[in-house]
């Protein structure tokens, strides 16, 4: 069967609805739909608003978005250099095993190198064995000693209202 070719490009405003739909698919796959509250308009504002904080690339097959990678810069104090952080990578199931995920990661690695980043990193759920094997196959190291610490919602608001010694 002939598979349509694909190409990778920076996301455009017109891609936002498709990217947001894929974010919903990703949340479903990761069993995290209960955490999904952002809208396509929220995503558009963060990508293309007055002060964008994220960037995205998309994979297109016959002009239709089939995958995306959303990323932003972080910083390593140990390296004293910025890094590139991949927030989400997703390829629609019907388009997997065609090299799209690999192409998205290669493009991001090139962006990181072109921008002088000291590292390129992301998180993966510990139960997502296919993703872990895929990433390790590309040369990534899954960091076994690190855990993500997160404060959101009411816990974030509560922490923000606590007094600290420097506030006194």
Q: How far apart are CA 98 and CA 71, in angstroms?
A: 22
Q: How far apart are CA 19 and CA 104, in angstroms?
A: 14
The active-site residue out of 71, 85, 90, 135 is 135
Q: Quick one: which of 42, 31, 48 has its CA closest to 127?
A: 31
Handedness of CA 115, 63, 86, 129 (dihedral sign): negative
Known active-site residue 135 = yes
**Rg, Å, the chain Cα set:** 18
Which residue numbers are catalytic? Answer: 135
């Amino acid at each position: 069967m002939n598979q349509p070719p694909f190409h990778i490009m920076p996301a455009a405003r017109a891609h936002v609805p498709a990217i947001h739909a894929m974010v919903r698919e990703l949340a479903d796959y990761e069993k995290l739909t209960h955490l999904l509250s952002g809208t396509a308009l929220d995503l558009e504002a963060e990508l293309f608003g007055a002060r964008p904080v994220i960037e995205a690339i998309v994979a297109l097959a016959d002009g239709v978005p089939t995958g995306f990678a959303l990323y932003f810069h972080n910083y390593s104090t140990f390296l004293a250099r910025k890094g590139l952080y991949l927030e989400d990578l997703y390829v629609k199931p019907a388009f997997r095993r065609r090299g799209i995920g690999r192409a998205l990661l290669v493009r991001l690695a090139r962006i990181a190198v072109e921008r002088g980043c000291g590292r390129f990193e992301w998180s993966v759920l510990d139960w997502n064995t296919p993703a872990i094997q895929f990433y390790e196959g590309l040369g990534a190291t899954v960091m076994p000693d690190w855990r993500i610490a997160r404060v959101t919602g009411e816990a974030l608001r509560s922490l923000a209202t606590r007094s600290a010694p420097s506030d006194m």
